C-alpha cells in the first residue's frame, strides 16, 4: 500500500493490486476510510467520515491531484 500523501490526520494511498481500476486514492483517518476517483474527483465510497469532512477530503485530493496522479502513474508504469 504505497503512501502517496500525508496531510494532517489523513493518509492517502493506493493498493498495489488495483492497477485495472481507473486512477484513484484511498484516504484514511483512524478507522474512517474513503475512496476518491482522481479523474473526476468524485467520491467512490466512504465509511466513517461526516459530510463536512468528506468535503475537506475532496478539496485535499483536488489540491494535490497532479501529484497523486503522478504517483499513480509512476507506480503502475502508465502514462497520462
Q: DSSP state, 62?
A: H
* Cα-Cα end-to-end distance for the chain: 21
pLDDT in tens, 25-66: 999 999 999 999 999 999 999 999 999 999 999 999 999 999
pTM, to two decimals: 0.90
Residue 79 above 70 pLDDT?
no
Whose cell is 467520491? That residue is 43
Amino acid at each position: 500500500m504505497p503512501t502517496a500523501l500525508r496531510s494532517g490526520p489523513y493518509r492517502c494511498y493506493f493498493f498495489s493490486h488495483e492497477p485495472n481500476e481507473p486512477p484513484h486514492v484511498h484516504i484514511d483517518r483512524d478507522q474512517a476510510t474513503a475512496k476518491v476517483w482522481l479523474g473526476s474527483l468524485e467520491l467512490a465510497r466512504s465509511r466513517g467520515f461526516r459530510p463536512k469532512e468528506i468535503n475537506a477530503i475532496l478539496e485535499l485530493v483536488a489540491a494535490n491531484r497532479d501529484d497523486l496522479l503522478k504517483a499513480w502513474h509512476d507506480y503502475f508504469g502508465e502514462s497520462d
